[in-house]
Structures are given as C-alpha cells and as structure tokens.
Amino acid sequence: MASSGSIDWAKVIADPRFQTLHRRKTRFLWGLMAFSVVYYFMLPMGAAYFQDLFKVKVWGVINVGLLFALSEFAVAWGIAVYYSHVANRDFDRMAKEIAADFHMQVGA
Amino acid sequence: MRNLTSRRWALACAAPLLFAALPALASGVVAAKYELMTWAVFAAVILITVYITYVAAKRIRSASDFYTAGGGISGFQNGWAIAGDYLSAASFLGIAGLISLYGYDGFMFSVGWLVAYITVLLLIAEPCRNIGKYTLSDILAYRNDPKWTRVVGALSVITVSTFYLTAQMVGGGVLIKTLIGIDYEWSVLGVGVLMLSYVLFGGMVATTWVQIVKAVLLVTASVIIVMLVWTPYGFSLPGFLADVVGDPKVQARVAVLLGDPSKTMSAAELGQRFLEPGLLYKVPIDQISLGMALVFGTAGLPHILMRFFTVPTAVQARRSVVWAMVIIGGFYVLTLFLGFGAAKNVGPATIAAVDAGGNLAGPLLAQYIGGGPDSVMGNFMLAFVSAVAFATIVAVVAGLVLAAASAMAHDLYVGVYHGGETVPAKQQVTAARIATVLVGAIAITIGIAAKGQNVAVLVALAFAVAASANFPCVLLTLYWKRCNTTGVVAGMIVGTVAAVGLTLVSPNLTYPKAVRAASTKVLEAEAGKRVAIMAALQSGDAKQIADATKTAAALDKAVAKAKADMAKVEGQETSFIGLEKPLFELRNPGLYSIPLGFLAVLLGSLLGRDRRSEEMWDEVYARQNTGLLVSKSQAH
C-alpha cells in the first residue's frame, strides 16, 4: 500500500475537476438510489394497503397489481441502462482526465 | 490468452447445443431405461464441468489466479457468472414453486431479488473494484486498521457464507433425493466432493466457468419450457393467464387457501383471486423487512462482492452488473410462466403433494410439457431440469466456499497471522487450497448433520447478517469521511449479533407448544369431519360423494401430518434456544437490525479516533471515484 504514496491524494481531492465529478456523481447516484428504493417498496406497500386498486382489471384478466409488479422489472432495467449511459458518457471521461494527469505527474 | 478465453467461451456456448441435440438420441431409448437416461444427462453435465476444471487448473499459479481468475474475466462473462452465482436452487426452483402455489405473492417475492442489484450497481460494484483486491475485508482494511478489520470482516464473511452454504447443502440434498432418489447423505457428499474438486484444482477460473455454463443451461432450459407452455396461446399474456385462472385446479387451490370465506365466491372469482395479492403474505411489515434484507443484503454478500475482483476495471464491473440484471430479471420474468404454467398444467395440489414448498413445480412442468410421466420426452425433460438443478447447487456452493476460504487464507492467515508481509505466491495458493478443503469438509459435515432442518431460517440469517453488518461497514468506509476502525468493528459485531439474535427469537424456529396446539386442533376436529364425510358418502348424490372422497383424502393427509408433527416435538417444551413462544414477531430482522448496524458504525466512528482512517480518506475517496492506480496494481 505504500506504493501509492507517490500521488498527492489531497491534491487530487482539491482538483476542481474532481470536485465537479464528485458533486455530479453524488447527486446522481443517491437520487437514483432513493428513487429505486421508494419505487420498490411501493410494491409490497401497495399489495398490503391498496388491494382494491391492485385488483382492478385492465387488460383481460391482468390487473393493476400484476402490471405494477412487471413495471418493477422495466424500471430496474431502465435505471441500469440510464446509469450506464450517463457513467459511460460523463463520469468515465472526467475520471480518466484526472487519472491521466496524476499518473503523468508520478511518471507512471 | 485471448485464444484460451474464446475457446472456453465456445465451450460454454456449445453446452446447450449439445443438449438441444440430445432429444433426438433419447427418443430411441425404451421406457424401462428412464433411470439410465437420467444418469446419462447428469454425467454429461458433470463431464462438462470437470473438463472446464481440468483446463482451468493449468492456469492457477498465483493467489490472484486462485481468488480472482487473475482479474481476467470480461464484464459480459462476469454478468453470466454473477447470474450463475446468484440464481440458487432457492430462486430457480423456489420462486416458480411459490408462484404455482400462491400466484401473485410468489411473483411479487421475485422482484426484490432483482432490485437488489440496483444497490450493487450504483453504490458498491465500481468502488469495490477500484479499492479491493480479493476479499470484502480488503476494502475495509485499506483504510482502517488492517488487523482488526480483517479479523471482524473475515468472521462475518465466514458466518454469512456458512449459513448460506448450509442452506444450499440441505436444500440440494433434499432436492436430489426427491428428484432422482439418491440418499440424502450421498447427495450432500456428491455435491460437496464435486464442488471441492472445482475449487481446489481450478480456483476462481473453474468456478467462474462452471457458473457461466450453469447459468446458460438454466436460461436455455427455462426458455424452452416457457416457449412450449406459451405457444398454444399465440404468445398472448392475457390469453395465457385467462386460461390459468379458468382452471378448476387453480380455483380449488384458492378455495383451500381462503377457507370459509371462499364459499360465497364464484369459480371465476376464485380463479381471479390467484392473480391478486394476499394469498401468501398476511403481515405486510414482514414483507417490508424481508425486502430491506434483500435490497441491502445482496450488496454485502461476500461471494457476490468477490465476483467484482475478477474483472480488470470499474467499467467492466459496471458492465457485469448490467448484464447480470438483464439475465437475472429476464429469468424471473420467465418464472412467471413457469409458475403459472405449472399451476395450470400440473396443478397446485399435485405440486404440493410432491414437495410442500412447491420446489418441484419447475421439474414437474418440464415433465408434463415433454409428454407426461410415461413418455420418453417427458422424462428426458425432467432429467435435464434435474441436472440443471444439480449444477445450480454445485455452482453456488463453489462460489460460497471460495469466499469463505479466501477470508480464512487471505485475511486471517496472510493478513493477520503474517501481518500482511509478503508471503510467497506458492505458499499463498497452498494456504488457499488448505482453507478450501477445510471449508468444504465443514460444509459437508454441517450439511449432513442439518438433515431435516428448516433451511429458510438459514437463508434469512445470511441475508440479514450481510445487510446489517457487511453492508453498513463497506458503504460507510467507502463514502463517509469520519468512518474509522472503531466504527467498523462495532458495526460488524452489533450488526451480526442483532441479526442472529433477533432471528433466534423469531417465529422462524420451531416452537413445540404451538406445534402441539395446532396438531391437537386438527386431531380434535377429525371426528366431526368424519361424520360429515360419512353422511355425504351415503347421500347417493354423485357430486357429493366425489367431493367427500376428496375431503377424506385431504383429511387423512392432514391427520398424518399432525401426528408426525406431534412425534417430532415429543417431550420438548421450548425452541432450540429455550423459548416457549417467539419474542420477536418478524420472520426477517432486517427492519431493526439494519438500522442498528448503521447506528453502531456511526457511533463507533464518532466515539473512537483513528489517524490511519483519517489519513487514508483522501486516497480512498480519490481512488474509488477515479480508479487511479488500479491499472498499476493489476500489473503485478
């Protein structure tokens, strides 16, 4: 672990580009996380407390509850794809720029 | 290197094709040789995995090869391997079974298992790849005091893995016994020895490829069955489900589940009720507590975390979770058809008669779809699905043993005993192999000793400890500046003790007094019911007589079960830990133990001080976000 001493980590943290990356990532990740947790727990809550709504038939015998459960899959996949898209487009590029600079400084 | 990987990938892809080609051969087999055919299918699956191990064994030279396949697995491959690691027999057979017996509630249960990966994707996978090396404790020890955190981390990893491992061994033994009639002890021994051979000789390389092959087989088998089930309805979802709810077998099941209130309901209403919530889960808070343990526990499962060290970069770690979510989620959507298809075609009563938990819904459906119990195809399908179930157990167990062995060898032996000083590569691999044999032997012993035990409690425990101890410690080490050694040690201890303690006083355990009361009630009611049955039998009305015959059969079964239950708790007054009734009403402790785990890390960190944890924060935070130096540490 001593090998990493060659980089001044405080300087990395203080770098304005790191600050931007950190800010955007924090907001994005925790926002998405909160949304997914809330959306997930709506399912058992709904199944317990809104049974009348869940029983409403919308498509043949298929009811709101079944569609809502299926939507959980769509939402989970949607979050995964959306996050990957943003991370691949923005976060990776920003991280790579910072990493390239500091690797150069230690001559790695 | 690339050549080797692609060749092995081709092998993994060829496996299902091989099976697709087999029915043509199997149709020539005469009826009396079903057993031989079953063995042939099993042998084929085992041979594939043994060949993988043989090829993989040549590549194991360093500890990194053994624990993480040298970090040389691609994101796509790792996605399949995660699915193979995660889709245990419990989720593969159990969820289809729950849907076939309880309809909607069973399907709702499957959702949490997928949503869990959002936590892994957003918060855990990439930082872990950027900071860690082989084990969960590597992440904790990077910032905090290495000795202390490795000791508590390793203990927690071994605890979680052992609970999960035992559940898999016991569940697997029962399953194989029911499916192909091998004695329980031999089944457990067979699973144990086969799994040991993969891990011991092929390390993570073999484990990964066994998991990939198993996941591909599992998905292939499910897709084939679902296609056959769904084709008659022209791939219409409402059409298929309308037929399910219109089936008398399904309607009869709902009537049994609802009891008296069902008497005023029409057949159509009973059928529709199967698609509505509330047939299985009566206590909403239980559901929420279980959901919390799933959604936060998966991110603390050591064998899942370990998979992220097998890929070279954070980008590949991200790709692996996305692929895993596609495969796992897609599989659960398929179980919707497997479960409802089994309910419609085989019937809930038949499924429950073979296994009360419904675990054999999938295999029985396969047999039905192939042409029924007397057909060659039907039995081939049954054999195939059984072999996949077997491969499932072996692959999951291999991943768990590797996680527990790495905690023993890498964290305790190399990290703590040798103080993290450089131990020669060869010696590290030897230590890992000795730990593997040790864990494997423990798993087989506990598996055999725990025969007939309730495994649901063990799975609940594994997820609860992972969510209450591992998850808060890893999360706060990665994201909270003030987190330190005191906090991590406190969190690990409080989280584990809270999760285990609350489970031990929960309704999961067997309470002899309650069992006796329930059985007595059944036995006391017997006489009255017999009179009613006799009256109906003598009524002369054909329908009444048919109904009474069915009721009589059900009553016989209930009485036999009540007597058996009574015998089991004979002479006992209290549960395993000496309680007459549960002190805590939730089946899963997550709702309380997860906040307690977090609280312990918070308080511990605020009360204690640790210069190293403070000094390392900048480095940890910079590295987990940027992946700085990961490429360098990968190089050697």
pLDDT tier, B553 (very low <50, low <70, confident <90, very high otherwise): confident
Of A78-82, B84-88, B115-119, least confident by mean pLDDT is: B84-88
Q: What is the CATH number of domain B2-53+73-234+293-474?
A: 1.20.1730.10
The per-residue pLDDT for range B243-276, each reduced to its tens digit, is: 999 999 999 999 989 988 888 889 999 999 999 9
Assess A55–B contact: CB distance below 8 Å, yes or no. Answer: yes
Q: Above 70 in pLDDT, residue B27?
A: no
Confidence at residue B81, expressed as pLDDT on a 0 to 100 scale: 94
Question: Over 90: is that where the pLDDT of B82 sits?
Answer: yes
Cβ contact, residue pair B111, A95, below 8 Å: no
Q: How far is B594 from chain A (nearest CA, A)?
A: 15
Of B272, B315, B627, the CB nearest to A99: B627
Q: How far is CA B102 from CA A94, B109, B123, in A?
A: 49, 11, 34
Residues of chain A with Cβ-Cβ distance to B242 below 8 Å are 60-61
Residue type at B466 in one-letter notation: A
Amino acid found at B567: A
Quote the pLDDT of residue B630.
Answer: 66
Min Cα–Cα distance to chain A from B40, Å: 37
For residue B397, what are the CA distances in angstroms to B197, B307, B443?
Answer: 12, 14, 9
Average pLDDT over residues B553-570: 81
pLDDT digits (tens, 9 = 90+) for B125-166: 999 988 888 888 889 988 888 889 999 999 999 999 988 888
Helices (H), B248-313: 248-258, 267-273, 284-297, 302-307
Q: Which chain B residue lies closest to A58 (C-alpha atoms)? A: B238
| Model pTM score | 0.86
Note the pLDDT of residue B454. Answer: 67
Q: Which of B122, B624, B632 to mutate to test the interface with A (most CBs of A within 10 A)?
A: B122
pLDDT one-digit tens code per residue, B349-403 = 988 887 777 888 888 899 899 888 788 888 888 888 888 888 888 888 899 999 9
Indicate if the pLDDT at residue B476 is higher than 70.
yes
Cβ(B106)–Cβ(B339) below 8 Å: yes
| B90-99 mean pLDDT | 83
pLDDT digit string (tens) for B453-463?
767 678 878 89
| Contact criterion met (CB below 8 Å) for B390 and B89 | no
Average pLDDT, chain B: 85
- Mean pLDDT to the nearest integer, B105-122: 92
Query: Which residues from B are below 8 Å from A103, CB to CB?
Result: 628
Please give the pLDDT value at position B30.
28
% pLDDT > 70, chain A: 90
Kindly determine whether residue A62 and residue B237, on different chains, have CB atoms separated by under 8 Å: yes
Give the contacts of B530 (CB within 8 A, at least 6 positions apart).
B555
**Considering Cα of B407, then B408, then B414, then B416, what sign does the dihedral take?**
positive
Cα gap B215→B232, rounded to integer Å: 27
Whether residue A66 and residue B107 make contact (CB cut-off 8 A), yes or no, is yes
Rounded Cα distance, B57 and B149, in Å? 32
Q: Convert the pLDDT of each residue in A92-102 to its tens digit.
A: 888 888 888 77
Distance from CA of A96 to the nearest CA of B (A): 7
**Structural domain boundaries in chain B:** 2-53+73-234+293-474, 521-568
Q: Which of A40, A57, A58 to mutate to test the interface with B (most CBs of B within 10 A)?
A: A40
